[in-house]
């Protein structure tokens, strides 16, 4: 057993003792009751289980939770799908996902949502040319698997958020 403390969606959790082999996915779902993070393939290949980890330098990245032990997240700041909407208001990306019906069963949606959010945050700091939007969105979402084949709609939803606010995300 190892005692961990971490921040999830801005709320501190811990110290709490966890088994060293308990995955972060199981910690979120079984210990904290946060069921938005999904268990997909169990091999970190589909990324349905991805969460956002915020780094001290202000950058963020997604990481799988199905094979990574909860103890590896000790001291980290994590965002789950439950933390996106604020005061019941959906983010522009969540709204775009709905407008594009960028999901069918919704199982992979948290991973795509997190990856899209990380991309938007990165583009706020380092905007890109309009001509590069398709490529950058494709590269960002690459690796996330959707069993219902909703890829085009996820890509369109992320792209449309970027294009709807060019002053924020684009250089020209």
pLDDT of amino acid 149: 74
pTM for the model stands at 0.94
Q: Can you give the pLDDT at residue 123?
A: 98
pLDDT, position 150: 72
pLDDT band at 160 (very low <50, low <70, confident <90, very high): very high
Angle, helix 151-164 to helix 92-99, in steps of 10 degrees: 130
Three-state DSSP class for residue 117: helix
Interatomic CA distance for residues 30 and 21, integer angstroms: 14
Residue 82 pLDDT: 96
pLDDT tens digits along 88-102: 999 999 999 999 998
Residue 145 has a pLDDT of: 87
Residue of 97, 112, 95, 98 lying closest to 147 (CA atoms): 112
Share of the chain above pLDDT 70, in %: 99
pLDDT band with cut points at 50, 70 and 90 for residue 63: very high
pLDDT at 28 exceeding the cut of 80 = yes
Element (H, E) at 163: helix 151-164
Mode of pairing for the β-strands spanning 77-79 and 2-8: parallel
Dump pLDDT digits (tens) for 112-155: 999 999 999 999 999 999 999 999 999 999 988 888 877 899 99
Instruction: Return mean pLDDT, the chain.
Output: 95
Whether residue 104 is predicted with pLDDT greater than 90 in this model: the reply is no
pLDDT for 78 equals 98
Strands 51-54 and 77-79: antiparallel
State the pLDDT at residue 106.
82
């Amino acid at each position: 057993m190892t005692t961990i403390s971490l921040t999830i969606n801005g709320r501190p959790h811990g110290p709490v003792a966890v088994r060293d082999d308990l995955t972060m996915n199981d910690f979120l779902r079984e210990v904290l009751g946060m069921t938005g993070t999904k268990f997909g393939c169990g091999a970190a290949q589909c990324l349905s289980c991805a969460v956002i980890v915020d780094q001290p330098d202000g950058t963020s990245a997604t990481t799988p939770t199905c094979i990574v032990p909860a103890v590896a997240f000790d001291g980290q700041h994590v965002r789950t799908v439950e933390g996106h909407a604020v005061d019941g208001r959906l983010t522009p990306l969540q709204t775009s996902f709905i407008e594009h019906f960028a999901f069918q069963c919704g199982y992979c949606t948290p991973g795509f949502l997190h990856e899209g959010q990380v991309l938007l945050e990165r583009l706020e700091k380092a905007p890109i040319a309009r001509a590069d939007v398709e490529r950058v969105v494709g590269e960002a979402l690459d690796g996330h698997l959707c069993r219902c084949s909703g890829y085009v709609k996820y890509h369109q939803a992320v792209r449309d958020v970027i294009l709807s606010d060019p002053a924020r995300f684009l250089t020209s």
